[in-house]
Amino acid sequence: MRVPLSKPEINERDISMVADVLRSGLLSLGPRVAEFEQSFAAYVGTRQAVAVSSGTAALHLCIRAQGIGANDEVITSSFSFVASANCALYEGALPVFVDIDPVSLNISPDCVRTFIEQFCEWDSAGTFLIDRRNGRRVKALLPVHVFGLPCDMTPLQNLAEEYRLHLIEDACEALGAQYRGRGVGTYGSMGTFAFYPNKQMTTGEGGMVVTDSDELAALCRSLRNQGRNEESCWLTHDRLGFNYRLSDLHCALGISQLQRIDDMLSARARVADAYKRRLATESRIVLPHSPIGCRRSWFVYVIQIKPVDSCSPQPLRDAVVMELRKRGIGSQVYFPAIHRQAYMKQFEFVVPQPLPVTEAASDACLAIPMYAEASEEEVEFVCHSISQALDSASATLSSLTNSAAVA
């Protein structure tokens, strides 16, 4: 049996909706774009949605639209996909990584506050928070709803208000998740979603900016379309823009997928429940947190390998990945911490304080197969294999340590 890490759910309706666009001849800047945007905004609960070519493009446009650039900083977490930090770097701004909460694995509001209190002060006019280490303006707070679990938005909103920070939500992994009864993406001034094939819904490639601000939405529509103004003619460019458009082919697939998003999310939740039941007795791992009071949207199912004798679980985790691969089961380290990526070494000031929780999580975490159509048999096979992989991986590792001790 081969079990992939993820698999898009594509049905005949999706295919015929895309085929209809092909037959229409209107492949880009056609009617499907606004239709997708309107149904998406209605689903998430914002006034506006702007379709773009990827989740990364959506994040980049948020940074640009909020006027964040050189000499600015954005507070975020390192336990994330690189795009949530890169979007600041694209504009010459610096991501500043603060630690995460050990239970939710999301940015810790307490760590945000500690960073601000230890390293920041108001400028003389009292308008901007300044990072004392380098004189940069701290302009935004960018929480990531990691693996579809909502961040603790109330304290984050309070911090954003108190310190006049733009609040930009990276909800790329969290479509359909709710915090205190309201959808994620509606808490910040702007939010982003993504539609790569491993996400809860897909357009092949694609992303969305959501906001309640008509002005920010209009600016993003111009920026994604080479800085054109919606009313002006084709070769008039009001500002420096990008080609971040999403084609009507992609949007048609998005419309069709969004129509059954709740079914797809429930199917993923059933897979998560099946994992929870079967893995409950496996004492060597920690299961994903299921908090009360918010609705999680399952992006990936991430377990953590417990440390043995207070040693880092990383060698064991990596050996489990190899064992699972031998059995045809896809798994992935989600996430290697961003600040440990080779290319991040060139940026100074990004890690103001040690990040012990982030580093421990990135040494322990392992994403196992998660997709709407995963069967009971597949889940059973994966869970059984995890226990066997842990057995044989710990046996191999302990024989290695023993022979090292003898030598």
Ligand X SMILES: *Cc1c(COP(=O)(O)O)cnc(C)c1O
Among 6, 46, 48, 56, binds ligand X (CB under 6 A): 56
With contacts defined by CB under 6 A, name the span among 80-88, 126-134, 251-259, 314-322 that binds ligand X: 80-88
Q: Give residues 195-224 in contact with ligand X (rule: CB under 6 A).
A: 196, 207
Q: Is 300 in the site for ligand X (CB under 6 A)?
A: no
- The footprint of ligand X on this chain (CB under 6 A) covers a number of residues equal to 14
Q: Which of 181, 148, 182, 372 is nearest to 260 (CA)?
A: 372
Task: Return d(Cα 378, Cα 257) in angstroms, integer.
Answer: 24
Contact (CB, 8 A) for 203 and 224: no
Of 8, 55, 95, 183, which lies in the binding site for ligand X, with binding defined by CB under 6 A?
Answer: 55
Judged by DSSP in three states, 143 sits in: coil
Stretch that binds ligand X, among 81-89, 306-314, 316-324, 362-370 (CB under 6 A): 81-89
Among 84, 222, 297, 304, binds ligand X (CB under 6 A): 84
Q: How far is the CB of 207 from ligand X (least distance, A)?
A: 5
Helix (H) or strand (E) holding 121: strand 120-122
Give 289-315 as a DSSP string.
P--SSEE---S-EEEEEPPBTTB-SHH
Q: Which stretch binds ligand X (CB under 6 A): 19-27, 76-84, 236-244, 372-380?
A: 76-84
Nearest partner of 103 among 240, 253, 318, 292, judged by Cα: 292
Map residues 307-336 to x or -, x wherever contact with ligand X holds by CB under 6 A. ------------------------------
Give the binding range for ligand X (CB under 6 A) out of 12-20, 54-62, 256-264, 366-374.
Answer: 54-62
Among 9, 37, 72, 170, contact with ligand X (rule: CB under 6 A)? 170
- Work out the angle at residue 113's Cα, subtended by the Cα atoms of residues 111 and 115, and round it to the nearest 5 degrees: 70
Q: Which residue's CB is nearer to ligand X, number 175 or number 389?
A: 175
Whole-angstrom Cα distance, residue 86 to residue 344? Answer: 10
- Bond preceding residue 381 cis, omega within 30 of 0: no
How far is the C-alpha of 31 from the C-alpha of 202, rounded, in Å?
A: 19
Q: Which residues, in sequence order, are CB contacts of 146 under 8 Å at separation 6+?
A: 77, 79, 80, 100, 104, 105, 106, 173, 335
Candidate residues 73, 173, 323, 359; the one interacting with ligand X per rule CB under 6 A: 173
Give me the least distance between CB of 7 and ligand X, in Å please. 16
Note the Cα 306 to chain centre separation in Å.
24
- In angstroms and rounded to an integer, the radius of gyration of the C-alpha atoms of the chain is 22
Minimum Å gap between C-beta 332 and ligand X is 12
81 binding ligand X? (CB under 6 A): yes
Burial of 312 (0-12, 13-18, 19+ CB in 10 A): middle
| Identity of the residue, 196 or 242, whose beta carbon is nearer to ligand X in the bound complex | 196
At its nearest, how many Å lie between ligand X and the CB of residue 386?
23
Nearer to ligand X, 131 or 170 (CB): 170
Residue nearest to ligand X (CB): 55
Q: Could you tell me the two tokens for 167?
A: 């609040």
80 binds ligand X (CB under 6 A): yes
Are 143 and 170 in contact, with CB atoms under 8 Å apart? yes
Residues between 120 and 159 with contacts to ligand X, criterion CB under 6 A? 144
Instruction: Single out the residue of 6, 54, 108, 304 in contact with ligand X (rule: CB under 6 A).
Output: 54
The only residue of 172, 302, 320, 321 in contact with ligand X, by rule CB under 6 A: 172
Residues with Cβ within 8 Å of 47's Cβ and at least 6 positions away in sequence, in order, are 41, 211, 212, 213, 214, 217
Residue 173 Cβ vs ligand X, minimum distance, rounded to whole Å: 4
The contact pattern for ligand X, residues 361-380, with x = CB under 6 A and - = no contact, is --------------------
Residue in 210, 212, 217 with CA at minimum distance from that of residue 193: 210
Rule CB under 6 A: say whether 168 interacts with ligand X.
no
Return the bridge partners of 190, or none: 168
Does residue 63 bind ligand X (CB under 6 A)? no
Binding mask 177-196 for ligand X (x = CB under 6 A): -----------------x-x
Asked if 127 and 164 count as a contact pair (C-beta separation under 8 A), the reply is yes
Residue 171 CB, nearest approach to ligand X (Å): 9
Contacting positions for ligand X (CB under 6 A): 54-56, 80-81, 83-84, 144, 170, 172-173, 194, 196, 207
